[in-house]
Structure 1
């Protein structure tokens, strides 16, 4: 069941544009939350109703919804047994030290789309059960200090963070999903050791002004999103640390070449997105990736496709069948592509060639 929750978080974390989070939908996964937290106390009191509720908010069992209320501060008198607090789409500018005092049972805190530029270093004190912290679409310029230790998902999409300091996520050993997209980071803004101690599975750094693949991300990552950056080349050393990668997205960059041997460093990869770049040929090494099933190469400048670009040369060599290869919107003449080129694709619909239009 933990996998189900993680998949839903990944879907949400990979969204390019702001989407309102439906907190009640998340509450339907409450049994997953309790299993993850390891807390059994008060699990039979979910049907208890609040006697108090912040002005202008709507309260249901353990959920406080205060979105779209024009709030400029965190409301007072939030019930102490709250699990979820929804403060999306308000005008909150600051989180003070005692704003969440006494809310030590909180599981999810949603502060998306406010004007938050300052968070007190002790604002999250004693919030050891907090798992979901959504701070996207605010005005933060740095990663808040002293984040709750048991967080499993952090979202900072579209803030003003231009630097990630060493040990910025210190102590977050349970973090699975980290979304940092649409911040003016650039490669120089990531200090060596910024991700020390993390065992994160997903890292999102799209729209971050990166000119190269970051070299110091957590070695545990299985999914990396680097879409909409300014990366112009993939080099051999780019993925040496990321041997567990299963999904890689480099769409909408300026990549002109993928150095020979680069893809061999990620032998467990299942899905690669290299569409909307400036590649002139199919990257070398795809045929050696045993588990690769999806490769997107559309909207590049590829002029020819070799018969062994995708499939192993030796007959009988084990290789998972492709479910998707996209080559449309390239100046390649599809009638010149040998039929045997796609001999390891599972079905005719698995290949998209199409026509090239200037």
Structure 2
């Protein structure tokens, strides 16, 4: 009887175990979808083998059910995803490209357009406040950026300097137009430039120097056609900062007086100067007057004998360079 009772009790327990859902089964119930063709487990015929061990001497013991292990399909989350917020949607909007720069008036980066429609700083080279237009076949001065401080247009074909070429260029300090074909310069082309200090117009065909600002420190008009009337009387008198005056090869017949006391270098070689007076450089009323600054005077290449007027140089630190006999 005891044995029969144990058998009946074991059958009841075994039936309860088989009827309970396994952990694997619960996992399968949570799957929304899968692709069974890609996996090696048949979920419909998944067999669960239970091995029951009965110990008739010590009582009934039951092991965990043995489940065949295979590859399960991934869980696919089919729940609806939240829509992106308005901020996220704005972040995803592509940026609109900037409109192209208008070429009619140039730009701050490339400068104003030239007459040919090409911006000055594309035709030339702009570095900081300096504009270099050397040897680019210019026939006129190109429009310059308003912040230009140094302008170089050497070895071109410019024939005339107009009043409007440098209008309102309040920062312009140096102009170099060496080796062009300039024959004429408007009278007001440079006068209204408050910062202009250096003007180089050598190797042109200029017949008349215009009025220049009083703040000039260097003037180089060598190798032109100034002649006897190309420099106005007392043209350099008020230039209290002038240091260098170069007028070589101009067919001048006189030294342009008076010269400012700040002048250090005066080049007049290869002209037609025939006479130097005793008061050309010195002050006859003050025998103690010494012109210390003027150390470099070139008069060679002129039809003049500087040895005939020794009193004209007594106030100078050095005797001018020129013909002595």
TM bin, normalised by shorter chain, reads 0.5 to 0.7
Structure-2-length-normalised TM-score: 0.57
1:46-77 Cα shifts (integer Å, max 9, x gaps): xxxxxxxxxxxxxxxxxxxxxxxxxxxxxxxx
CA contact (8 A) 2:290 2:315 kept: no
How far apart in 2 are the matches of 1:243 and 1:228?
24
Partner of 2:89: none
In the superposition, relative to structure 1, how do residues 142 and 343 fare at CA in structure 2: closer, same or farther (>3 Å)? farther
Provide the secondary structure at the position in 1 that maps to 2:242: coil
TM superposition shift of 1:276:
1.1
2:164 maps to which of 189, 192, 196:
192
Partner of 2:242: 269
1:199-255 Cα shifts (integer Å, max 9, x gaps): 122110122222244532333111110101112234xx522xx11111110110111
Q: Which runs of 5+ in 2 are unaligned?
A: 1-99
Partner of 1:50: none
Comparing 202-211 and 321-330, the one that deviates more: 202-211
TM superposition shift of 1:266:
2.3
CA contact (8 A) 1:164 1:191 kept: no
User: Is 1:156 paired with 2:127?
Assistant: no
Partner of 2:54: none
Partner of 1:343: 314
Comparing 249-258 and 318-327, the one that deviates more: 318-327
CA contact (8 A) 1:169 1:196 kept: no
What CA RMSD, in Å, does the superposition of the two structures yield over aligned residues?
3.6
The 5 A counterparts of 1:247-286 are 247-257=218-228, 258-286=231-259
1:287-321 Cα shifts (integer Å, max 9, x gaps): xx110111001100111111111223431567443
CA contact (8 A) 2:234 2:256 kept: no
How far apart in 2 are the matches of 1:297 and 1:270?
15
Partner of 1:69: none
1:125-152 Cα shifts (integer Å, max 9, x gaps): 7689xxxxxxxxxxx9687257899822
Partner of 1:94: none
Pair member with larger Rg: 2
CA contact (8 A) 2:254 2:272 kept: yes
TM superposition shift of 1:164:
3.1
How far apart in 1 are the matches of 2:118 and 2:258?
38
TM superposition shift of 1:180:
1.3
TM superposition shift of 1:156:
0.5
Aligned residues: 216
Partner of 2:276: 305
How far apart in 1 are the matches of 2:110 and 2:306?
58
How far apart in 2 are the matches of 1:249 and 1:205?
10
TM superposition shift of 1:184:
1.6
Provide the secondary structure at the position in 2 that maps to 1:341: helix
Provide the secondary structure at the position in 1 that maps to 2:211: helix
TM superposition shift of 1:259:
2.4
Structure-1-length-normalised TM-score: 0.52
